[in-house]
Structure 1
Amino acid sequence: MSREKDIEKLQLLTGERDDELLSLLLDDAEEYVLAYTNRTQLVAGLEKTVRDLAVIALNRMGTEGESGRSEAGESYSFDSAPKHIYDTLNRYRLVRCGGHAHEKKQD
């Protein structure tokens, strides 16, 4: 999927109109996903996970470093990421053997 389509989806999901910010959040999320899964290229099954992580990052802007917050009688706690995201990432994670992750080349 193209970056423009991902930005459009994020705009619909979040209401955020700053394309540059959304692009940066998508780039950061993609880098995280690739590093976590030991991959060099994003596979189709991880595209939504990248968008989900970008939305989480956008929603947490201004609360970096906090593990929780209490305001006006309401308490909020922040996890690193929801379990379903790690479940997806773990399905696509490549094992490292001898310091290398062996990844099938994309067509």
Structure 2
Amino acid sequence: MTELEKLKKMTGEKDEGLLQILLEDAEAFVLSYTNRTHLVSGLDKAVRDLAVIALNRMGTEGEAARTGSGESYTFNDAPKQIYDVLNRYRLARVGGKTFEAEKKQAGGAETLSS
């Protein structure tokens, strides 16, 4: 099952174009935050979770809180558990460069790229 199909099942949203945009934006955020050039398998769920959060927050951009009909909602950044996952995969920058292991090559060896 693709990430788009999973997101459709999770949210019930039928607009595949919108979901694809949200997935792409979430992936871009994850790659930027972790200093990576490609997603590793452990980050797939974080991307999906961020896309769901973005979908649920549509129409409330820029709001910090909302109260109405006796209910109060507070909008925070992404939940701590998502940042916990992202921090595990975050690459450090050394001397202005980030070193990331490339995907395994035919010989099974990994190489570092900057």
Give TM-score, length-normalised by structure 1: 0.95
Which structure has the higher relative contact order (CA within 8 Å, separation 6+)?
1
Distance 2:13 2:86 in 1: 26
Q: Which residue of 1 aligns with 2:36?
A: 39
Report percent identity of matched pairs: 62
Q: Which segments of 5 or more consecutive residues in structure 1 lack a partner in the other structure?
A: none
Helix, strand or coil at the partner of 1:69:
strand
Distance 2:10 2:67 in 1: 26
Q: By percentage of residues, which structure has more helix?
A: 1
Distance 2:96 2:35 in 1: 11
**1:5 maps onto 2:26 in alignment:** no
Q: Which residue of 1 aligns with 2:79?
A: 82
Q: Which residue of 1 aligns with 2:47?
A: 50
CA RMSD of aligned residues (A): 0.8
Runs ≥4 in structure 1, deviation > 2 angstroms? none
Q: Which has the larger radius of gyration?
A: 2
1:11-50: CA deviations, max 9, x gaps?
A: 1111101110000000000000000000001000000000
Give TM-score, length-normalised by structure 2: 0.89
Q: Which segments of 5 or more consecutive residues in structure 2 lack a partner in the other structure?
A: 105-114
Q: How much has 1:71 moved relative to structure 2?
A: 1.2
Distance 1:71 1:88 in 2: 34
